[in-house]
Structure 1
Amino acid sequence: MWDSETDTVGGGEYGNGVMSTSKPGLKTDGFEKKGQSWYVATDIPSDFLVQIGDVSFHLHKYPLLSRSGKINRIIYQSRDIELNKVSLDDLPGGPDAFELAAKFCYGVAVDLTATNISGLRCAAEYLEMTEDLEEGNLIFKTEAFLSYVVLSSWRDSIVVLKSCEKLSPWAENLQIVRRCSESIAWKACANPKGIRWQYTGKAPRSVSSPKWNEMKDSSPSRNSQVPPDWWFEDVSILRIDHFVRVVTAIKVKGMRYELIGAAITHYAAKWLPGLIKEGLDSAPDDENRSWKGGLHMIVAGTKENLQPVQAKDQRMIVESLISIIPQQKDSVSCSFLLRLLRMANMLKVAPALVTELEKRVGMQFEQATLADLLIPCYSKNETMFDVDLVQRLLEHFLVQEQSEGSSPSRQSFSDTKMYDGAQRGGGNTNAKMRVARLIDSYLTEVSRDRSLSLTKFQVLAEALPESARTCDDGLYRAVDSYLKAHPTLTEHERKRLCRVMDCTKLSIDACMHAAQNERLPLRIVVQVLFSEQVKISNAIANTTLKEAGDSHYQPLVSNRKTLLEGTPQSFQEGWASAKKDINTLKFELESVKAKYLELQNDMDTLQRQFDKVTKPKQTSAWSSGWKKLSKLAKMNEGHEHEIGSHGPNVDQTRKTPRRWRNSIS
């Protein structure tokens, strides 16, 4: 409890927050409490009993009739002058507020504080303690304390607004909530350099709460800086409806949307602790863990200020937070939006608010993580994860990207901090690529669910344009995971599933894995091998054009050899059979070559032997006949050469031995 300021108002009647009346109706030494009953310490016996719940007040008619129009009307309408008992169970503030009002009627000094002023003000209004009955009545005095003391203090405004939670609708009708909310908003929007009042997180200077605009020598040193979020903790103790009022007033006064979003996140972390995962900021890349939330009783804030929040109230908190999130992009993180969306689906929040929240997530969907995207499906007989929700989020993202692309003047709020080293002009492309990687990881995770239909998988995989993926390795992992979890798919269904990926966009490692993957259809394996062969050929051609060394060529050959060795058994057997036939033909061809060369050598040997025998000077008839035969043979050979020169293979007979020799070597 914080006492009110030590200012004086109205001629010294508020010294040290003590209120008294200058015209006591009955001399008394005070009130005494015995059990659940209050008695006036006076010699005159009581003649009027006021019952409020289990507490009874033994009082006198005259002090109450002189200042309370409500008591006057009750006695007058009853037409019973001897009426000595009345029940006021619906009095705002309860027995505590009536105790202070009764003391005021008897002229007993009342200590006004920020904790009791709102209840006393509502009780005074209920009892109709107006100026018509007596000048300086309770309504006037409590109203003056609110206006001149409470609203000028930061802490007192917070405490009074917190105490109004049990005074609805009286506090609302008396404008206490509105005035305190505007006072808090005005001070929260003040320049932090000019803040001198006490707030949570700063060491107190004195026992009493200083005024918000108080400038004293005991003010903090110039070196101490007030953080921009100094008001988060104090405002977060408020009930959700009053917090909404404060945030709405702060928006009107033009506070930065980033600070408003941070205040909303801070409030959600306190009142909905299951919404924020511990270590979220320290391990943002932990995509394998998924948050699990549930309905449970939570205690928000400190034990001194806050009360337990039942599960039934969480829905109202979530709906209220959704309605006050600033419309600007990046006012809150995408992770916070997704966790709020998870809880909204779990608590069955209004569909219109859920749709609005889904659109907000779509605006910054590229910032999402896999852990936040794994939202359970709370409908019966459905998949483990809400795939339809992710499909809607992706559609909202694509619509948003299309609208931003059609509006060149519109700039993204997160271009400068979304990606390290990314160019501002390529923000949309980078966002789509990041979303594509996220969707591929999500498909890999949800594909293990056997209740996931092939249609849902295919629709989500094909939702993004082809330009969003430069490599389909992530999509291949998702397809392989789906095939592993659904072994009963038909050949047609497997072909249909594999059509979602492009074999030409697979890396060498993925191609090597796909070539040995028995779950893939045979046609897909052929396409993978063909595309990899084309890549290798292009790589070899490019290497040759660039005059690369052997070091650049060797890895390609090695990878090709490994790839061919990794093909299925059926392909290996076919290739071995074809290779065997080719080797057989080569062997037969080499045999023919060898026989031809052998015959030619024999002919040359015979010719030399004959020349030796026919060396004598005189030629006989036999020798002349042989010369004629050899001359005729040469003429025939020249004729054949002339015919060959007009054919398609020029000098084929003359060059044949050399060509065979080269091929053999």
Structure 2
Amino acid sequence: MFYWSWIDILVCLKSCFPIFTHADSSGLIQKLISALLVKIAQNSDTNFITSSSSSSSSPETASGYRFSSSSKSTPDLIKSSSSSKAWWFEDLAVLPPNIIEKVIQSLGAYGTDNNSLIITRFLLHYLKTAAQSKAINQLYSKCEYGGLADTAIHGVVTVGREAFSCRGLLWVLRIVSGCGLNKDYKVGLEKLIGGMLDQATLDDLLVSGHDRAVYDVNLVLRLIRVFVNSDEISIHKMKKVGRLIDKYLSEISPDQNLKISKFLGVAESLPDSARDCFDGVYRAIDIYIQ
């Protein structure tokens, strides 16, 4: 199998889905995944895969193959205009979620073992592709992506502020919100976003709502709560968020399905020190009661 072409390996892996249990128990899937990982390693500039095994000090994957960090030439078939570290993202996005779980497990990066930025970025790309594809949604249920979503968010929270902006984290939240994400991981992601709320823009907060509401006000309330309760928030950041929330109030106030308790919750969510005046709040109230 190690002499098979990249396309042949992908096609064979995808065809294992209808007979997954048998293919897995026979060892076929693991052999295909091992061949797949060798192809990635041979054609990547960076040794992004490291061992998670505590029994060995050598940089090997769970599949037992050492991934060289030396630069390799990438075949024309799998060249990408983007970074060579990501040339395989699109190709693996066609594989079923249970196969991708096996791939990530073979890398020793599944669940709480994921501390790799490149694996995290791949999983986010994979989940985004799945969410946007009607054909994929018809084949697999959202709950089948739960473990992958948890793994991705563990990676996001691990690298956190160093790799993702507030806008980027809100984008991540949108992607994983419909993937059966574990509640604890969702809370962890929202804490990370809330701590960076001063970096957000109005557009970032305009997340689609539920129960006929135009916007997800509950999410914004949770993010504000995290921000207000954060340690060592400067008055500059507090006032910046105050201006942002006043704009948000004006945006949500025309929503006829917005309950008054939610509107007041947002209006009263910040301390008085966050505003130099309350003109923005009063204008939003005028719009709301009209």
When the two structures are superposed, what TM-score results if normalisation uses the length of structure 1? 0.33
**Residue in structure 2 matching 1:194, options 45, 64, 71:** 71
**Residue in structure 2 matching 1:180, options 21, 32, 36:** 32
Q: CA deviation at 1:318?
A: 5.3
Cα distance, 1:465–1:232 mapped onto 2, change above 3 Å: same
**Contact 1:154/1:197, CA 8 A, preserved across alignment:** no
Q: CA deviation at 1:198?
A: 2.8
Cα deviation digits, residues 223-251 of structure 1 (max 9, x gap): x9963222212222211222233234446
Residue 99 of structure 1 is matched in structure 2 by none
**Contact 1:161/1:180, CA 8 A, preserved across alignment:** yes
Cα deviation digits, residues 57-101 of structure 1 (max 9, x gap): xxxxxxxxxxxxxxxxxxxxxxxxxxxxxxxxxxxxxxxxxxxxx
Cα distance, 1:225–1:377 mapped onto 2, change above 3 Å: closer
SS of corresponding position for 2:160: coil
Q: Does the alignment pair 1:480 with 2:283?
A: yes
Q: Normalized per residue, which structure has more helix? A: 2
Q: Does the alignment pair 1:169 with 2:18?
A: no
Cα distance, 1:200–1:234 mapped onto 2, change above 3 Å: farther
Cα distance, 1:366–1:249 mapped onto 2, change above 3 Å: farther
Residue 169 of structure 2 is matched in structure 1 by 334
Residue 261 of structure 1 is matched in structure 2 by 120
Cα deviation digits, residues 621-660 of structure 1 (max 9, x gap): xxxxxxxxxxxxxxxxxxxxxxxxxxxxxxxxxxxxxxxx
1:316-465 matched pairs, under 5 angstroms: 316=143, 319-325=146-152, 326=155, 327=157, 328-330=159-161, 331=163, 333-340=168-175, 343-344=177-178, 351=183, 354-379=186-211, 383-399=213-229, 401-402=230-231, 405=232, 431-465=237-271
| Counterparts of 2:28 and 2:240, CA distance in 1 | 50
Q: Does the alignment pair 1:234 with 2:88?
A: no
Q: Normalized per residue, which structure has more strand? A: 1
| Counterparts of 1:390 and 1:181, CA distance in 2 | 41
Q: CA deviation at 1:169?
A: 0.2
| Counterparts of 2:82 and 2:284, CA distance in 1 | 54
| Counterparts of 1:485 and 1:379, CA distance in 2 | 19
| Counterparts of 2:123 and 2:201, CA distance in 1 | 21
Cα distance, 1:195–1:348 mapped onto 2, change above 3 Å: closer
Q: Partner letter of residue 45 of structure 2?
A: N
Q: Partner letter of residue 279 of structure 2?
A: Y
| Counterparts of 1:481 and 1:354, CA distance in 2 | 30
| Counterparts of 1:182 and 1:362, CA distance in 2 | 40
Q: Partner letter of residue 149 of structure 2?
A: I
Using CA pairs under 8 Å that are at least 6 residues apart, name the structure with larger relative contact order, 1 or 2: 2
| Counterparts of 2:239 and 2:37, CA distance in 1 | 42
1:633-652 matched pairs, under 5 angstroms: none
1:569-580 matched pairs, under 5 angstroms: none
SS of corresponding position for 2:210: coil
SS of corresponding position for 2:73: coil
Q: Partner letter of residue 25 of structure 2?
A: N
| Counterparts of 1:225 and 1:392, CA distance in 2 | 36
Cα distance, 1:430–1:228 mapped onto 2, change above 3 Å: farther
Instruction: Identify the range of structure 1 (450-459 vs 235-244) with the bigger mean alpha-carbon deviation.
Output: 450-459
**Contact 2:191/2:226, CA 8 A, preserved across alignment:** yes
| Counterparts of 1:231 and 1:433, CA distance in 2 | 44
Cα deviation digits, residues 401-428 of structure 1 (max 9, x gap): 32xx4xxxxxxxxxxxxxxxxxxxxx86
Residue 310 of structure 1 is matched in structure 2 by 137
**Contact 1:359/1:396, CA 8 A, preserved across alignment:** yes
Identity %: 25
Q: Partner letter of residue 151 of structure 2?
A: I
Q: CA deviation at 1:323?
A: 0.9
Cα distance, 1:256–1:452 mapped onto 2, change above 3 Å: closer
**Contact 1:272/1:314, CA 8 A, preserved across alignment:** no
| Counterparts of 1:233 and 1:186, CA distance in 2 | 17
**Contact 1:162/1:239, CA 8 A, preserved across alignment:** yes
Cα distance, 1:252–1:318 mapped onto 2, change above 3 Å: closer
Cα distance, 1:163–1:348 mapped onto 2, change above 3 Å: closer
| Counterparts of 2:240 and 2:206, CA distance in 1 | 17
| Counterparts of 1:443 and 1:394, CA distance in 2 | 13
**Contact 2:145/2:180, CA 8 A, preserved across alignment:** no
For structure 2, list consecutive stretches of 5 or more residues without a partner in the other structure. 47-69
Q: Does the alignment pair 1:271 with 2:130?
A: yes
Cα distance, 1:172–1:376 mapped onto 2, change above 3 Å: same
Cα distance, 1:241–1:353 mapped onto 2, change above 3 Å: farther
| Counterparts of 1:201 and 1:433, CA distance in 2 | 49
When the two structures are superposed, what TM-score results if normalisation uses the length of structure 2? 0.68
RMSD (Å), alpha carbons: 3.8
For structure 1, list consecutive stretches of 5 or more residues without a partner in the other structure. 1-145, 204-223, 274-297, 300-307, 406-426, 488-665
Cα deviation digits, residues 502-525 of structure 1 (max 9, x gap): xxxxxxxxxxxxxxxxxxxxxxxx
Q: CA deviation at 1:450?
A: 3.9
1:24-35 matched pairs, under 5 angstroms: none
